[in-house]
Amino acid sequence: MLTQAQLLDRAEIEDAVKRYCRAVDRCDWPLLARFYHADAAIRHGPYEGGPEGFVEFVKARRVGMRHTAHYVGNILVEFGGPDTAVAETYGFATQTFVPPSPLVPEGAVATRIRAAYRYVDRFERRDGRWAVAAALLVTGERDLRHFTDAPPDDSAVVGQQPSTADPLYAMLAQLTSNGNCS
């Protein structure tokens, strides 16, 4: 049975994972960097290193990205003490790329990737803040589809933006400027 303090800590850790998804999908680099402690060890696909290099790695993968969305489901947080925890997060991502992305082969107009994964993260609380000290991306099934005739429909009235130009940031700015989202 979790204590009240652990329930609050779990909520903070789960929110951090969700902010990570926002950061990656909206290209919010400062938010992405805050997910990690400065000395964190990250192993994410071909990347192995620290947070600064990881942010640059993610930025480089954004060339030609037209859409990105990460969905997280099951998040199980297990505590090793008052300031350590491991979070296992199941997720699914979908991304669409257009040229000049290196993921779009010659003759294709777009590539869509859909992938299942798990994040296995060791969180530590330092100076009152939970952040990742060690991160591992565990990959599952991955589906690549290349479009040769027309890219997927992007006719949405309000479309997602893989950047901080996404409508979310305008609404968040209203929230912080006048205390509400009216």
pLDDT at residue 162, as a whole number: 78
Domain contains 163: no
Domain contains 20: yes
Amino acid of residue 60: A
- The pTM assigned to this predicted structure is 0.88
The span from the CA of 89 to the CA of 23, in Å, is 16
Q: If pLDDT is split at 50, 70 and 90, which confidence band does 182 have?
A: very low
Taking residues 16-30, report their average pLDDT: 97
Here the CATH number for the domain that contains residue 87 is 3.10.450.50
Share of the chain above pLDDT 70, in %: 92
Mean confidence (pLDDT) of the chain? 92
Q: Which residue has the higher pLDDT, 159 or 152?
A: 159
Domain contains 48: yes
Domain contains 28: yes
Domain contains 172: no
Domain contains 168: no
The span from the CA of 154 to the CA of 130, in Å, is 37
Query: How many domains, the chain?
Result: 1
pLDDT at residue 168, as a whole number: 85
The pairing of beta strand 65-81 with beta strand 47-49: unpaired
Classify the C-alpha dihedral 102-165-25-42 as positive or negative: positive
The span from the CA of 125 to the CA of 83, in Å, is 5
The DSSP code sequence of the chain is ---HHHHHHHHHHHHHHHHHHHHHHHT-HHHHHHTEEEEEEEEETTEEE-HHHHHHHHHHTTTTEEEEEEEEEEEEEEEEETTEEEEEEEEEEEEEE-TT-TTS-TT-SEEEEEEEEEEEEEEEEETTEEEEEEEEEEEEEEEEEEESS-PPP---SS---SSTTSHHHHHHHHHHHHSS--
pLDDT at residue 84, as a whole number: 98
pLDDT tens by residue, 57-92? 999 999 999 999 999 999 999 999 999 999 999 999
Domain contains 151: yes
Q: If pLDDT is split at 50, 70 and 90, which confidence band does 128 have?
A: very high
pLDDT at residue 46, as a whole number: 95
Domain contains 14: yes
Note down the domain range covering 41: 4-157
Amino acid of residue 12: E
